[in-house]
């Protein structure tokens, strides 16, 4: 301030002195006035430079000014720098925050007071088929076409959540998206989305499973209770009694087999996969399985099947003996049950080109049409329902085999030609195979 005053006085004094050189008081006053005008002009130029710089607020190009203007520009630069640092840190915080929401497994959409999208994370965009950039600013009800969603969005009860169709793997199979809206601020809304397709599918499967089990148990139970009632109310001959008891025993056996297969399945699902376990000689695995198969064939087939063991040098496979036995028996008994009497069944363990091994059962039965193959291992899926029941099938055999194969790091493979026969194999990886070195 003092400096500016000195500047002003100096200029006025200089200009008056210049006036006095013309030897007149009038010239001196005019000179003083001119000095004052000159000073304000100079001062104005400095102020203008400062204002121009403030417009750009570029702290790297601070104008070099002296005196009060210099002080002003210096202080302004410091304030601007401080604000810049603050903005940078809140921007970084916002970026971090948005990056965290981006990573959320749930979809997040922010809607303004009019229902326009303000921000959408990639999960929600992916679930609902939005473009995370282009669709910002769009009215959400124009993008989500479900009438139920529109009613929910425009209503004022956001306590519940609703299920809408999202973008599925195929247009015919839309995913199931659960939507929940949370109002906040001035009519703004936070919309959360969650893909519940797998949960819904598991729920449907659970419901189907319970329905199937109930159905499977209801039939033999009805037969059993029917005979019990008959025998309680009507006098029956000894021959009739024997027939009834025989039929009742069959139905009880059917239920027993169902329960036993269900228990096996739940054990397989609920227990950890078997480790390398024992090394089991393939010949020793084949022997009891073939004995059971031959016995079954003589009981249910007329004439019995021609059952051949396709022998190869024995080797060892590692795994759980009773699980492998159960899987092998299931495949062998299926071959017997579905191949008409007199047909041929070939079975054995053999090494594969990849160093692994397989247990296979090849039959000359009716074969299976290609459309059934992908569904064969579903629980209770049967192609020939009556044949399965007649021969004591539970519809769970192949589901058990698939589980056993997978638990041993392998898989169940099926090749079949209608009218010619089928080959079912349990393939095991090389890590579970060991050749026996000659003694
Ligand atoms: P099931 O107890 O009914 O035999 P599985 O799970 O073992 O149940 O088999 C599923 C279905 O696959 C059977 O109902 C049958 O229709 C078909 N199937 C299984 N093995 C054979 C086979 N060797 N030949 C023809 N069809 C078969």
Contact 309, 288 (CB under 8 A): no
The CATH number of residue 114's host domain is 3.30.450.20
Task: For residues 52 and 177, state if they share a domain.
Answer: no
Half-sphere CA count of 79, side-chain side, radius 13 A: 8
Ligand 1 closest atom vs CA 393: 2
pLDDT given for residue 266 in this prediction: 92
Give the DSSP per-residue string, 318-369.
EE-HHHHHHHHHHHHHHHHHHSPTT-EEEEEEEE-TTS-EEEEEEE-S----
CB-defined site of ligand 1, < 6 Å: 330, 334-335, 338, 363, 365-366, 368, 376, 381-384, 388, 393-399, 422
Give, for all 439 residues of the chain, the pLDDT tens digit.
Answer: 677 778 778 878 887 887 778 767 777 788 888 888 888 898 888 889 888 888 887 888 888 887 888 888 889 889 999 999 999 999 999 999 989 988 888 999 999 999 999 999 999 999 999 998 999 999 999 999 899 999 999 998 999 999 999 887 777 778 999 999 999 998 999 999 999 999 999 999 899 999 999 988 998 899 999 999 999 999 989 999 999 999 999 999 999 999 999 999 999 988 888 887 789 999 999 999 999 999 999 999 989 999 999 977 889 999 999 999 999 999 999 999 999 999 999 999 999 999 999 999 999 999 999 999 999 999 999 998 888 888 888 999 999 999 999 999 999 999 999 999 999 999 999 999 998 876 6
Rounded distance from Cα 381 to ligand 1 centre (Å) = 8
Rounded distance from Cα 306 to ligand 1 centre (Å) = 19
Query: How much is the pTM?
Result: 0.69
Task: For residues 9 and 80, state if they share a domain.
Answer: yes
φ, ψ for residue 401, nearest 5 deg? -60, -45
Task: For residues 231 and 327, state if they share a domain.
Answer: no
Residue having the nearest C-alpha atom to atom 11 of ligand 1: 382
Task: For residues 381 and 367, state if they share a domain.
Answer: yes
pLDDT given for residue 23 in this prediction: 64
Give the DSSP per-residue string, 155-215.
SS--SS-EEEEEEEEETTEEEEEEEEEEEETTTEEEEEEEE-HHHHHHHHHHHHHHHHHHH
Contact 64, 53 (CB under 8 A): no
Ligand 1 closest atom vs CA 366: 25
φ, ψ for residue 180, nearest 5 deg? -135, 130
Task: For residues 17 and 47, state if they share a domain.
Answer: yes
Residue ending a domain, choose from 164, 195, 226: 195
Which of 382, 392, 425, when mutated, tests ligand 1's pocket best, judged by the most ligand atoms within 8 Å of its CB? 382
Task: For residues 289 and 426, state if they share a domain.
Answer: yes
Which of 212, 253, 260, 388, when mutated, tests ligand 1's pocket best, judged by the most ligand atoms within 8 Å of its CB? 388
Residue ending a domain, choose from 97, 132, 159: 97
CA distances 52 to 32, 57, 81, 229, Å, are 30, 9, 17, 106
Task: For residues 26 and 172, state if they share a domain.
Answer: no
* Interatomic CA distance for residues 350 and 359, integer angstroms: 7
Residue 437, number of CB atoms within 10 A of its CB = 5
Task: For residues 81 and 182, state if they share a domain.
Answer: no
Ligand 1 closest atom vs CA 384: 16
Task: For residues 295 and 387, state if they share a domain.
Answer: yes
Ligand 1 closest atom vs CA 400: 6
The CATH number of residue 328's host domain is 3.30.565.10
Tens of pLDDT along 279-320?
999 999 999 999 999 999 999 998 999 999 997 788 999 999
Residue ending a domain, choose from 97, 118, 141: 97
Q: What range does the domain containing 265 cover?
A: 200-270
Task: For residues 45 and 189, state if they share a domain.
Answer: no
The CATH number of residue 218's host domain is 1.10.287.130
* Interatomic CA distance for residues 60 and 42, integer angstroms: 24
Rounded distance from Cα 221 to ligand 1 centre (Å) = 23
Contact 380, 356 (CB under 8 A): no
Rounded distance from Cα 334 to ligand 1 centre (Å) = 6
Residue 377, number of CB atoms within 10 A of its CB = 18
- Structural domains in the chain (count): 4
Which of 398, 399, 413, when mutated, tests ligand 1's pocket best, judged by the most ligand atoms within 8 Å of its CB? 398
Q: How far apart are the first and last CA of the chain?
A: 111
Rounded distance from Cα 304 to ligand 1 centre (Å) = 19
Ligand 1 closest atom vs CA 385: 14
Task: For residues 184 and 135, state if they share a domain.
Answer: yes
Task: For residues 115 and 254, state if they share a domain.
Answer: no
């Amino acid at each position: 301030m003092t400096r500016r005053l000195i500047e002003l006085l100096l200029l006025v004094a200089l200009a008056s002195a210049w006036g006095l050189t013309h030897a007149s008081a009038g010239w001196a006053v005019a000179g003083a006035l001119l000095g004052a005008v000159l000073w304000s002009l100079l001062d104005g130029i400095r102020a203008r430079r400062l204002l121009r710089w403030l417009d750009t607020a570029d702290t790297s190009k601070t104008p070099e000014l002296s005196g009060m203007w210099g002080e002003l520009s210096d202080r302004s630069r410091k304030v601007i720098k401080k604000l810049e640092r603050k903005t940078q840190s809140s921007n970084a915080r916002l970026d971090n925050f948005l990056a965290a929401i981006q990573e959320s497994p749930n979809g997040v959409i922010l809607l303004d007071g009019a229902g326009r999208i303000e921000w959408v994370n990639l999960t929600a965009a992916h679930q609902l088929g939005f473009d995370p950039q282009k669709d910002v600013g769009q009215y959400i009800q124009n993008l989500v076409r479900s009438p139920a969603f529109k009613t929910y969005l425009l209503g004022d009860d956001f306590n519940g959540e609703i299920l809408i169709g999202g973008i599925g793997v195929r247009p015919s199979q839309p995913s199931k998206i659960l939507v929940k809206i949370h109002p906040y601020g001035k009519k703004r809304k936070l919309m959360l989305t969650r893909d519940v397709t797998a949960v819904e599918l598991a729920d449907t499967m659970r419901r189907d499973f319970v329905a199937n089990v109930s159905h499977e148990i209801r039939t033999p139970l009805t037969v059993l209770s029917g005979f019990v009632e008959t025998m309680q109310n009507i006098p029956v001959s000894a021959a009739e009694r024997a027939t009834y008891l025989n039929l009742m025993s069959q139905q009880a056996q059917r239920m027993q087999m169902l329960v036993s297969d269900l228990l096996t399945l739940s054990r397989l699902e609920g227990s950890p996969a078997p480790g390398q376990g024992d090394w089991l000689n393939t010949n020793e695995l084949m022997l009891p399985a073939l004995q059971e198969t031959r016995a079954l064939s003589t009981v249910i087939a007329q004439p019995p099947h021609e059952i051949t063991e396709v022998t190869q040098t024995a080797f060892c496979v590692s795994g759980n003996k009773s699980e492998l036995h159960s899987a092998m028996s299931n495949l062998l008994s299926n071959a017997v049950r579905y191949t008409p009497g007199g047909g041929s069944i070939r079975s054995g363990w053999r090494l594969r080109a990849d160093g692994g091994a397989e247990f296979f059962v090849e039959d000359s039965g009716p074969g299976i049409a290609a459309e059934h193959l992908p569904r064969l291992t579903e629980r209770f899926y049967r192609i020939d329902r009556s044949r399965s029941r007649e021969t004591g099938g539970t519809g769970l055999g192949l589901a058990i085999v698939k589980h056993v194969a997978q638990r041993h790091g392998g898989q169940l493979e099926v090749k079949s030609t209608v009218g010619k026969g089928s080959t079912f194999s349990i393939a095991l990886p090389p890590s579970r195979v060991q050749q026996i070195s000659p003694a």
